[in-house]
Structure 1
Amino acid sequence: MAKHDLGIDLGTATFVVYQRGVGIIIEEPSVVAIDAKKKKIIAIGTQAKEMIGKTPEQIKIIRPVQDGVITNPEVIEEVLRYFLKNAKKGLSFSKPKLIIGIPALTTDVERRAVKEAAERVGASQVFLVSEPLAAAIGSEIDITKPNGHMVIDIGGGTTDIAVISLGGTVESESIKVAGEAMDDEIVKYIKKSYRFSIGTSTAERIKKEIAKAYKDEETIEIEVKGQDIKTGLPSSIKINSDDIFEAIKPVLNEIIIKAKNVLEKTPPELAADVMNNGIILVGGVSRIRGLDKLLKEKTGVNTIVTEDPHLTCAKGTGILLEDIELLSSVHVE
């Protein structure tokens, strides 16, 4: 494969692009700003995310991937064009090959739409790989052997849980409960407990800065700005990690239940492998303090968070770009 080939993770929360021979070249929020009157994209990624809650009526902020579902293939096409344009800066080369990590819940129709969009923007060849499989590869385990590995990928819109062996998925569950659901729970908890209103962007920031998933983790306090519901005026309050632990507990419980379901359905020999190999935890939400300890306590299986867990899926597509033999031996479309 040529050095301009790209691996792309189309995540609900983040778009990540890996360029062969270079590494990660793009890491942007999965947000797009559109001028509805002109029917034109005006911003992608961080620039678009900064507009949330601050735009005039004609500017619409959309997430083309929501809850693990590609909701707007036309916008995805423009996003892919943007990626290729960024990769080509200062270069002139032939059509690249693309390996695209897609949410496990993506339908056949959506997968076909992504492939066609990639071909229209100039890809010579397109391979689609499920995000849990790409994440397993990005964790640098050998998934081609008859040895079971369990991956839990907690992203923005979905949690994908999979037991992988011999290059494919043996057992899996995907639920539309992940980082964004936690943000919603934080908004509701603060509103109910403190009679104070914040937006989801603020809730996301709180989650990233002070959230904990295990009670014994250190408690951190920050000041949060928003609106006092009693007066309707701008104000600020102090929130701590214990508050956020209580707020996100329902989401954590649902993820744990699904993880246990997958373990219970896993064939005994593979379950023994998982017990030996541990659970691999990836995705942006994996960075919440103590989440690995919580999963170990609730499942009895040692849990390991990968380095830069939010980039693991994209790294997996990058490894596939570099290893043609591996690409031919795993389940891609």
Structure 2
Amino acid sequence: MARDIGIDLGTANVLINVKGKGIVLNEPSVVAVDTQSGKVVAVGTEAYKMVGRTPGNIRSIRPLKDGVIADFDITEAMLEYFINKLNVKGFMSKPSILICAPTNITSIEQKAIIEAAEKSGGGKVYLEFEPKVAAVGAGLDIFQPQGNMIIDIGGGTSDVAVLSMGEIVTSRSLRLAGDKMDAAIVSYVKNKHKLLIGEHTAEQLKINIGAVYEADEKQTMQVRGRDIATGLPREVEVTATELQEALSDVMASIIAAAKEVLEMTPPELSADIIDRGVMLTGGGALLNGISQLFASELHVPVLTAEDPLDAVALGTGVLLDNIQHHKQY
């Protein structure tokens, strides 16, 4: 028998939840390709190690951009590699797949995601919106007639949504998230310190000392890069306060989207959100001070999910069970 799987097809990482086993795969959404032969050289963690470090004939590609498929063939190859690695196919049957997408995705982009999952070895493919799945994975009971608000800050998109009765009532999806934060850090270090750093280094800065509210000036990290003037390698010290400054524009846009969603929310559901608070999920939820920043701007309690990085993948497992349950009746 094939085992049903839930896939969090993220811009930065792919997480796969196998029914009955939980999350069994968490690898970067990167594929290394030999440009001369067109062959896939490495997928996932191995390919991620090659980013910015490959010779001219090998290219590290991130096939998803801003939460949607930018390169269909490479996405299909990546999914096929991961699904085969897990050995979830049955002798005569294919696994059902539940896969997630941002809320502002077009019908053509939806079709591309479903098609990629089918071609990579899936049987029946279900598509669900990311904030709904993340809310379920974070432990919210979205199937009751009460308002639940979620802010999911991933790698390519930030999704803000209010849910009730198992459906999205109002939502906004921004193509502004972890990747744009990394780009903002690269730009800031270039302008402030006259140093060119790679996206890997920017990501490490964000993970280690990234802060968005009342940053601790004593928190610092040494980074190495190329001096703009001399072209030679150089090391500088970056502080958490500088990172707060670097990330301020991206955070302001996400806060503006959250305020928009709250303005469009029916009054009864708004009252529920004051009681229940807002749930933060995704990698962005791990930034220092992020819950305090949202709480001060939105004037409602803000909580961070227990496993913010795994919330979407955990939610796919719960929703897959629901789908299977409904099939039996």
Q: 1:284 to 1:100 in 2, by over 3 A?
A: same
In 2, the alpha carbon distance for the partners of 1:70 and 1:236 equals 36
The runs of at least 4 aligned residues of structure 1 exceeding 4 Å deviation read 89-93, 325-328
Of 70-79 and 311-320, deviating more is 70-79
In 1, the alpha carbon distance for the partners of 2:121 and 2:253 equals 41
How far the C-alpha of 1:90 sits from its partner, in A, is: 11
In 2, the alpha carbon distance for the partners of 1:166 and 1:87 equals 34
Preserved contact between residue 119 and residue 125 of structure 1 (Cα < 8 Å): yes
In 2, the alpha carbon distance for the partners of 1:194 and 1:116 equals 45
Q: Structure 1, residues 231-276: CA drift from partner, whole Å, max 9, x if none?
A: 2111111111111111111111111111111101111111111111
Preserved contact between residue 31 and residue 44 of structure 1 (Cα < 8 Å): yes
- Which position in structure 1 is the counterpart of 2:8? 9
Correspondence list, 1:294-309, <5 A: 294-309=293-308
Paired letter, 1:45: G
In 1, the alpha carbon distance for the partners of 2:73 and 2:215 equals 46
Q: 1:269 to 1:307 in 2, by over 3 A?
A: same
Preserved contact between residue 146 and residue 165 of structure 1 (Cα < 8 Å): yes
How far the C-alpha of 1:290 sits from its partner, in A, is: 0.8
Q: Structure 1, residues 177-201: CA drift from partner, whole Å, max 9, x if none?
A: 1111111111111111111111111
How far the C-alpha of 1:95 sits from its partner, in A, is: 1.3
Correspondence list, 1:1-333, <5 A: 4-88=3-87, 94-215=93-214, 217=216, 219-324=218-323
SS in 2 for 1:323: helix
Q: 1:326 to 1:187 in 2, by over 3 A?
A: farther
Preserved contact between residue 137 and residue 318 of structure 2 (Cα < 8 Å): yes
In 1, the alpha carbon distance for the partners of 2:18 and 2:92 equals 13
How far the C-alpha of 1:322 sits from its partner, in A, is: 2.6
Paired letter, 1:118: A
Q: Structure 1, residues 275-330: CA drift from partner, whole Å, max 9, x if none?
A: 111111001111011100100011011111112211100110011123337777xx
How far the C-alpha of 1:6 sits from its partner, in A, is: 0.7
Of 89-98 and 173-182, deviating more is 89-98
Preserved contact between residue 7 and residue 314 of structure 1 (Cα < 8 Å): yes
SS in 1 for 2:272: helix
Q: Structure 1, residues 50-69: CA drift from partner, whole Å, max 9, x if none?
A: 11112222222221110122
SS in 1 for 2:139: coil
Preserved contact between residue 11 and residue 103 of structure 1 (Cα < 8 Å): no
Identity %: 42
Paired letter, 1:139: A
Q: 1:256 to 1:326 in 2, by over 3 A?
A: farther
In 2, the alpha carbon distance for the partners of 1:69 and 1:150 equals 23
Q: Structure 1, residues 20-66: CA drift from partner, whole Å, max 9, x if none?
A: 11111111111111112212221111211111112222222221110
Paired letter, 2:70: T
Preserved contact between residue 68 and residue 105 of structure 1 (Cα < 8 Å): no
SS in 2 for 1:174: strand
Q: 1:210 to 1:192 in 2, by over 3 A?
A: same
Q: 1:249 to 1:97 in 2, by over 3 A?
A: same
Unpaired runs of at least 5, structure 1: 329-333
- Which position in structure 2 is the counterpart of 1:331? none
Preserved contact between residue 138 and residue 314 of structure 1 (Cα < 8 Å): yes
**CA RMSD of superposed structures (Å):** 1.9
Q: 1:326 to 1:138 in 2, by over 3 A?
A: farther
> What TM-score, normalized by structure 1, do the two folds share?
0.93
How far the C-alpha of 1:217 sits from its partner, in A, is: 4.8
Q: 1:6 to 1:89 in 2, by over 3 A?
A: closer
Q: 1:326 to 1:238 in 2, by over 3 A?
A: farther
Preserved contact between residue 211 and residue 245 of structure 1 (Cα < 8 Å): yes
Preserved contact between residue 293 and residue 303 of structure 1 (Cα < 8 Å): yes
